[in-house]
């Protein structure tokens, strides 16, 4: 059983990233890592999958750099699981004994609690009778006090109203006198403000004329400076572009030399090549789900590379494509026959400038997404490189997946 687990772990390692919402799969035979995420299409943003692709691309890159899972780690994990089963049986037995003791203790406590409550009920009854007698005496006393307080408040209210009326008459006379004085002061103030405003407008007009003259001169000078700055910027950009092209040329040359050295040591493994033809049945574009993908090709040194003639095919699951996937692609094996496998695809597309692609309106079912590109001529001439993945599509789902392959 342990041997079987080790063999399966070398073919596919599943990393179910529940917190991040996607699953990463590793195939050590094809040197391929893929990440897949499925969400409800009503909740998904179909126009911008870039944040999801960024997270999935990072996870795929990290997985590419990991080493193979060691046999020792799997053996240790199996031992821990066996110990855990033994401990669980022992804990269940101890819990059953504790539960029995707990039930006996609860029964004893319930009897004592019943006796205590009966005693408390008797005492409560006696206290209620005493409280009722005291409440009646208190109510009679409060009625008498309320009557006396009401009579006293009526006398105080009458005296206060007479005082307020006299005060209001006095305030009314003072307000009329104050309004007359304020009216005279306001007229004088308005006259002064009118004269000051005319003087201010005259000064502002003269200042505005001077400001317009200065602004005109400043703008002429600024236009000349901006023109000179633009010319300098264009010259610097041309210089940077030339330096970048030289650096890129040197890097490509270095990678070509490294690839030549590696080719002498390791023979290239390629999967059986395919011939794609449009499906003979009509592709009915009325489904409710979508597939969005991002593709990463890496050089043997681990640097990203953009391959030529890359095309993505959507193939409905059938016996022929399943046979090719399981017997040729997953094993990186070519056929002894000169005839290539012919697959009929439902839909096909190309990568955009960001190495993304999409298929819309997919019905429920199982599909294979197959990415076909040309190997770089320095690695293999007239050879095709494939990335393939089986994807299950449910109703109203948006499936996002990242494909990564090291050449």
Helix (H) or strand (E) holding 223: helix 71-263
Count other Cβ atoms within 10 Å, centred on residue 41.
16
Q: Which domain holds residue 30?
A: 2-37+46-69+267-406
Are the C-beta atoms of residues 27 and 326 closer than 8 Å to each other? no
The answer on 124 and 57 residing in a single domain is no
Please check whether residues 253 and 292 belong to one and the same domain: no
Whether residue 208 is contained in a domain is answered as yes
Q: How far apart are CA 54 and CA 22, in angstroms?
A: 12
Structure tokens at 306: 């953009």
Q: Residue 347: left (phi > 0), alpha (psi -120 to 50), or beta?
A: beta
Give the end of a domain, one of 246, 266, 286.
266
Final residue belonging to a domain, choices 240, 266, 292 = 266
334 in a structural domain = yes
51 inside domain:
yes
What is the spatial distance between Cα 405 and Cα 407, in angstroms, rounded to a whole number? Answer: 6
Helices and strands (H and E) in the chain: how many: 4, 13
Scan for tokens 């046979």, then name that residue: 323
Look at residue 305 and tell me if it is in a domain: yes
Choose among 298, 335, 332, 292: nearest CA to 314.
Answer: 292
Q: Among residues 218, 249, 266, which one ends one of the domains?
A: 266
Instruction: Note whether 122 and 203 are same-domain residues.
Output: yes
Residues 360 and 236 occupy one common structural domain: no
One domain for residues 178 and 201 = yes
Q: Are residues 313 and 392 in the same domain?
A: yes
Asked if residue 250 lies in contact with residue 364, where contact means CB atoms within 8 angstroms, the answer is no
**Residues 272, 373 within the same domain:** yes
Give the model's pLDDT for residue 267: 56
- Tell me, what's the pLDDT at 195? 87
pLDDT at 315: 95
Give the Cα-Cα-Cα angle 43, 46, 50 (nearest 5 degrees): 110
Token pair belonging to 273: 């090549």
Consecutive H or E run containing 321: helix 319-324
CA distance 125 to 121: 6
Give a yes or no: residue 74 inside a domain.
no
Q: Are residues 192 and 271 in the same domain?
A: no
CA distance 243 to 236: 11
To 5 degrees, how large is the angle CA 30–CA 35–CA 39? Answer: 150
Domain shared by 256 and 122, yes or no: yes
Instruction: Look at residue 7 in the predicted model and tell me its pLDDT.
Output: 43
Q: What is the DSSP letter of 154?
A: H
- State how far the Cα of 260 lies from the Cα of 25, in Å rounded to an integer: 30
Tokens of 207: 């200042």
Count other Cβ atoms within 10 Å, centred on residue 268: 13
**Residue 400 CA to chain centroid, in angstroms?**
13
Find tokens 């821990």 and name the residue. 80
Q: What is the pLDDT along the chain (407 residues), one digit of tens a residue?
A: 444 444 444 444 444 444 467 788 888 778 788 888 888 877 655 556 677 788 888 888 888 877 555 445 656 676 777 778 778 778 888 888 888 888 888 888 888 888 888 888 888 988 888 888 888 888 888 888 888 888 888 888 888 888 898 888 888 888 888 888 898 889 888 888 888 888 888 888 888 888 888 888 888 888 888 888 888 888 888 888 888 788 777 778 877 776 666 555 445 667 888 999 998 776 556 789 999 999 999 988 888 999 999 999 999 999 999 999 999 999 888 877 777 889 999 999 999 999 999 999 999 999 999 999 999 887 778 889 999 999 999 999 999 999 999 88
For residues 177 and 228, state if they share a domain: yes
386 phi and psi angles, rounded to 5 deg: -120, 145
Within-domain flag for 91 = no
- Determine the 3-state secondary structure of 277 from DSSP: strand
Q: Which residues contact 39 (CB under 8 A, 6 or more apart)?
A: 21, 397, 398, 400
Side-chain-side CA neighbours of residue 48 (13 Å): 1
Asked if residue 218 and residue 280 are part of one domain, the reply reads no
Domain count for the chain, please give it.
2
**Residues 304, 241: contact at Cβ < 8 Å?**
no
| Residues 165, 202 within the same domain | yes
Is 0.85 surpassed by the pTM of this model?
Answer: no
Q: Quick check: is 330 in a domain? A: yes
For residue 15, list its beta bridge partners.
24
Reference 274, options 309, 331, 313; nearest CA is 313
Specify if 348 maps to a domain.
yes
Please classify residue 231 by burial: count the beta carbons closer than 10 Å to its beta carbon, then call 0-12 exposed, 13-18 middle and 19+ buried. exposed
The CATH code of the domain that includes 292 is 2.60.40.10
Buried b / exposed e across 298-308, counting CB within 10 Å, b at 16+?
Answer: bbbeeeeeebe
């Amino acid at each position: 059983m342990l041997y079987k687990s080790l063999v399966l772990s070398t073919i596919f390692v599943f990393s179910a990233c529940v917190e991040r919402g996607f699953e990463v799969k590793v195939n050590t035979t094809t040197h391929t890592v893929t990440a897949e995420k499925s969400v409800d299409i009503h909740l998904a943003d179909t126009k911008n999958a870039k944040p999801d692709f960024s997270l999935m691309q990072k996870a795929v890159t990290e997985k590419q750099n990991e080493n193979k899972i060691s046999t020792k780690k799997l053996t240790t994990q199996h031992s821990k699981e066996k110990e855990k089963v033994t401990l669980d049986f022992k804990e269940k037995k101890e819990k059953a004994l504790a539960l029995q003791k707990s039930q006996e203790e609860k029964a004893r406590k319930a009897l004592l609690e019943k006796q205590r409550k009966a005693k408390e009920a008797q005492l409560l009854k006696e206290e209620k009778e005493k409280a009722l007698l005291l409440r009646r005496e208190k109510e009679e006393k409060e009625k008498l006090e309320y009557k006396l307080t009401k009579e006293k408040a009526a006398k105080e209210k009458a005296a206060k109203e007479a005082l307020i009326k006299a005060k209001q008459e006095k305030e009314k006379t003072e307000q009329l006198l104050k309004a007359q004085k304020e009216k005279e002061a306001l007229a004088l103030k308005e006259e002064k403000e009118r004269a000051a405003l005319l003087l201010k407008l005259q000064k502002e007009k003269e200042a505005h004329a001077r400001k317009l003259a200065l602004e005109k001169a400043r703008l002429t000078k600024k236009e000349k400076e901006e023109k000179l700055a633009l010319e300098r910027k264009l010259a610097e950009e041309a210089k940077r572009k030339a330096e970048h092209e030289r650096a890129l040329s040197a890097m490509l040359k270095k990678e070509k030399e490294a690839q030549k050295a590696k080719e002498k040591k390791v023979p290239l493994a390629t999967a059986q090549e395919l011939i794609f033809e449009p499906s003979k049945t009509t592709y009915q574009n009325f489904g409710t789900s979508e597939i969005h993908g991002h593709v990463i090709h890496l050089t043997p040194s681990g640097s990203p590379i953009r391959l030529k003639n890359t095309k993505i095919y959507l193939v409905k699951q059938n016996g022929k494509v399943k046979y090719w996937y399981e017997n040729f692609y997953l094993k990186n094996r070519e056929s002894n026959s000169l005839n290539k496998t012919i697959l009929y695809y439902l839909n096909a597309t190309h990568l955009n400038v960001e190495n993304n692609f999409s298929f819309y309106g997919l019905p429920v079912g199982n599909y294979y997404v197959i990415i076909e590109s040309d190997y770089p001529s320095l690695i293999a001439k007239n050879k095709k490189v494939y990335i393939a993945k089986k994807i299950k599509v449910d109703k109203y789902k948006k499936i996002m997946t990242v494909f990564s392959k090291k050449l």
